[in-house]
Amino acid sequence: MSMNARGTGFRGVDAAAQRRLNASAPPIPHLGARVAALFRPYRGKLVTTVVLVVAGAGVAVIPPLLVQRVFDDALFPLSGGGPDLSLLVRLVLAMVGLFLLSAGIGLGQTWLTATVGNSVTGDLRVRLFDHLQAMELGFFTRTKTGVIQSRLQNDVGAVSGVLTNTVTSILGNVVTVIASLVAMILIDWRLTIIAVVLMPILAVVQRRVGQVRARIASQTQESLSELTAITQETLSVSGILLSKSFNRQRTESARYAEENRNQVRLQVRRAMSGQGFFALVQVLMASVPAVIYLVAGYLVAGGTGAITAGTIVAFTTVQARLLQPLMGLMRVALDLQTSSAVFARIFEYLDLVPAIGDAPDAIDVAAAPGPVGRVEFRDVVFRYPDAATDSRPTLGGVSFVAEPGQHVAFVGPSGAGKTTILYLTPRLYEASGGSVLFAGADVRTLRHESIVDHVGIVSQETYLFHATIRENLRYAKPDATDAELEQACRAANIHHIIAGFERGYDTVVGERGYRLSGGEKQRIAIARVLLKDPPVLLLDEATSALDTVSERVVQEALDAAAHGRTTLTIAHRLSTVLGADLIHVVDAGRIVESGTHAELLARGGLYAQLAAQQVAASRVLEAEAEAEGGAPGAPGAGPA
């Protein structure tokens, strides 16, 4: 079983089942407090924002009060007589000045809001990325790459607006609502009661609507995750090659279209949820002035209290200003309820505890008691974390020692546990039992970064970035000089090929290095490891996917790279490890034979059987090649 098939990260996982699984995840505790804590580094700007919000809200409610004076004192003085033009000019100038002041405050508030909100969003994205970098290798073999990308992009992007606008929106609207209510009470308390009598009912309805929107938001983000995963899987170079090879483009398009239809449906539901509620609020708030006119008419007709035209105009003006902030508060409340589901998804990842971490008293490899380059396994047992508890462990009591400078090879059937042995060495996985020692110290007592600094890995599946050869090489040593790059490439037997490219070391290799042949990619990967210059080299079937000619050239580069280093090699073709100092034969998670090539052949055990099978297979190929009139082992066309 492949690593990807061990968890939920394989291609055939049911998207609906995954959504049900995520929906049943436990709620994140103290979610509100944790979101608020994100703003802590920007306290100074927040305080300034609060001051501007309060000032802006206070300034905004003054003009309606001036409107009352315009009507009752300047245009239609209650004392009688004609308009007071001098007072009218002063009131109009005051109102214009307040509008200018309000605009200036709004600009400053917008800049601070954008700065704080986007900074918090950026911090959250980087924090999530850093945390994912710290997760163990097993996490990534269990989880779709597209799902991880969705958490970083779609989920953080979904809460960006909330982080950017929530604080100022809440503060500004609360202050505006309070100031408006105070102004309305000062104008006429009886009319104020009529204007706000429905607010408690609206608050209850709003909470119910928010719960519905939160569920839809969670389903929408899960659907986005699935869409991102499908895109990443299908439109990568490997994915598109696979779909074209099996003529499955229509199937992939149908799979994407189906999830896209689900996404469209959810987006429409999300857009429409709560719109009826807001329409009702808008109708009620817009109808209040008409009710005010009616009540004022009855009050005047009944002689129960004097209400002037200025009072009615000023009150309805303030009440109209109350609609926008009140709607804003309700929208923010709904957005917070909606985004809580997305925040929970983000914090769910941030709360993941890496299975592999440094002990508080961890030391560097340099401080270890043994020689750097010594690798030892003592009765190591390993079971993948998501494997069934009653299944056979991948490794069951593996013990061996590799001394500094020694070349130790591991051979055996597929699935025997060879790659697991290599990945346990630099502690990419944690042993379930026994001990893995590096430089004489248990790897659990060493700083993980220090171990990795002393280990170089060349795997069967070489990964190159979509960048230049120079940039790919300097990934191992960012400050490497051009001379060091050339020296490493000469040692890996690839410099002469790079020099023949039109742009030399500035040649862009393409996605995952697809512009290069398999042998060229492998030799660049070897050069990258040589540039790192580690004392321990791990070779995971680095030539098994190559043709005979490429294998021979790459093997020469590997032999040069292994010189003077402790080298642990996994070999598919036994011919590549004939010169190893020690060969361990692994079967069913255990070392069943150990010795040199000659010793193992003489014993007639599993190694001898594997050798005989490969010799027989080689003779068949040679016979077929001779029958076709070609040379045996001739390389095929195109990249290997």
pLDDT in tens, 331-341: 777 677 667 77
- Helix 62-69 crosses helix 85-134 at what angle (to 10 degrees)? 170
537 exposure class (CB count in 10 Å sphere: 0-12, 13-18, 19+): buried
Please list the alpha-helical segments (H only) found in 407-468.
418-424, 448-453
Q: With cut-offs at 50, 70 and 90, classify the pLDDT of residue 142.
A: confident
Query: Cα–Cα distance between 135 and 535 in angstroms, integer?
Result: 25
Quick: pLDDT tens for 285-315. 667 777 777 777 777 776 655 677 777 777 7
Q: Where are the domains of the chain?
A: 29-350, 357-454+534-640, 463-530
Query: Cα–Cα distance between 44 and 119 in angstroms, integer?
Result: 13
Quick: pLDDT tens for 206-215. 666 666 776 7
Mean pLDDT of 173-182: 78
Query: Cα–Cα distance between 31 and 192 in angstroms, integer?
Result: 36
Query: What percent of the chain shows pLDDT beyond 90?
Result: 18
DSSP type of residue 357: -
Query: Cα–Cα distance between 581 and 402 in angstroms, integer?
Result: 10
Q: Under CATH, what is the fold of the domain 29-350?
A: ABC transporter transmembrane region fold (1.20.1560)
Assess whether pLDDT exceeds 80 at residue 370: yes
First-to-last alpha carbon distance for the chain, in angstroms, is 25
Quick: pLDDT tens for 592-603. 999 999 999 999
The answer to whether the CB of 437 falls within 8 A of the CB of 378 is yes
Q: Which two tokens stand for residue 626?
A: 């001779």
Residue type, 430: E
User: CA geometry: angle at 265 spanning 346 and 279, to 5°?
Assistant: 90
pLDDT for the residue 638? 33
pLDDT for the residue 635? 37
Same fold, 29-350 and 357-454+534-640: no
Q: Which two tokens stand for residue 236?
A: 């990568």
The answer to whether the CB of 509 falls within 8 A of the CB of 516 is yes
Q: Which candidate, 514, 519, 517, 513, places its Cα nearest to that of 551?
A: 519
Assess whether pLDDT exceeds 80 at residue 512: no
pLDDT for the residue 33? 83
Query: Cα–Cα distance between 14 and 1 in angstroms, integer?
Result: 19
The answer to whether the CB of 222 falls within 8 A of the CB of 255 is no
| Higher pLDDT pick, 137 / 377 | 377
pLDDT for the residue 375? 95
Quick: pLDDT tens for 356-366. 889 999 999 99
Assess whether pLDDT exceeds 90 at residue 623: no
pTM of the full structure: 0.69
Quick: pLDDT tens for 518-567. 788 888 888 888 888 899 999 888 776 566 676 777 777 777 777 888 99
Assess whether pLDDT exceeds 90 at residue 586: yes
Assess whether pLDDT exceeds 90 at residue 253: no
Mean pLDDT of 257-261: 83
Assess whether pLDDT exceeds 50 at residue 633: no
The answer to whether the CB of 174 falls within 8 A of the CB of 46 is no
Q: Which two tokens stand for residue 16?
A: 């609906």
Q: Under CATH, what is the fold of the domain 357-454+534-640?
A: Rossmann fold (3.40.50)
Mean pLDDT of 29-51: 83
Mean pLDDT of 266-285: 72
Residue ranges of E strands in 262-362:
none
Collect contacts of 553-559 with beta carbons under 8 A, ≥24 apart. 553/493, 553/519, 553/523, 554/493, 554/519, 554/522, 554/523, 554/526, 556/493, 557/491, 557/492, 557/493, 557/494, 557/522, 557/523, 557/526, 558/458, 558/526
* Distances in whole angstroms, Cα of residue 219 to Cα of each of 161, 209, 380: 19, 16, 43
Report the range of poorest mean pLDDT among 466-480, 573-587, 617-631: 617-631
pLDDT for the residue 8? 35
| Higher pLDDT pick, 467 / 626 | 467
Assess whether pLDDT exceeds 90 at residue 27: no
Report the range of poorest mean pLDDT among 69-83, 396-410, 489-503, 562-576: 69-83
Please compute, for residue 585, the number of CA atoms within 13 A of its CA located in the half-sphere on the CB side: 20
Q: Which helix (H) or strand (E) holds 122?
A: helix 85-134
Q: Which candidate, 281, 285, 287, 284, places its Cα nearest to that of 334?
A: 281
- Helix 189-196 crosses helix 309-350 at what angle (to 10 degrees)? 40
CA 413, 414, 417, 418: dihedral to nearest 10 degrees?
A: 80
CA 36, 38, 40, 45: dihedral to nearest 10 degrees?
A: -100
pLDDT for the residue 513? 73
- Among 121-125, 137-141, 254-258, which range has the highest average pLDDT? 121-125
Query: Cα–Cα distance between 16 and 223 in angstroms, integer?
Result: 9
Q: Which two tokens stand for residue 158?
A: 């979904």
Task: Name residues whose C-beta falls within 8 Å of residue 433's C-beta, 6 or more positions apart in sequence.
Answer: 379, 380, 381, 382
Mean pLDDT of 405-421: 90
Residue type, 629: G
Mean pLDDT of 275-280: 70
- Strands of the 582-587 sheet, one edge to the other: 455-459, 536-540, 566-570, 407-411, 582-587, 590-595
| Higher pLDDT pick, 501 / 307 | 501
Query: What percent of the chain shows pLDDT beyond 70?
Result: 80
Please compute, for residue 599, the number of CA atoms within 13 A of its CA located in the half-sphere on the CB side: 11
Looking at every residue in the chain, the average pLDDT score rounds to: 79
- Among 208-222, 238-252, 263-277, 469-483, which range has the highest average pLDDT? 469-483
pLDDT for the residue 582? 94
Assess whether pLDDT exceeds 80 at residue 9: no
- Dihedral sign, Cα of residue 287, residue 289, residue 292, residue 293: negative
Q: With cut-offs at 50, 70 and 90, classify the pLDDT of residue 205.
A: low
Query: Cα–Cα distance between 527 and 521 in angstroms, integer?
Result: 10
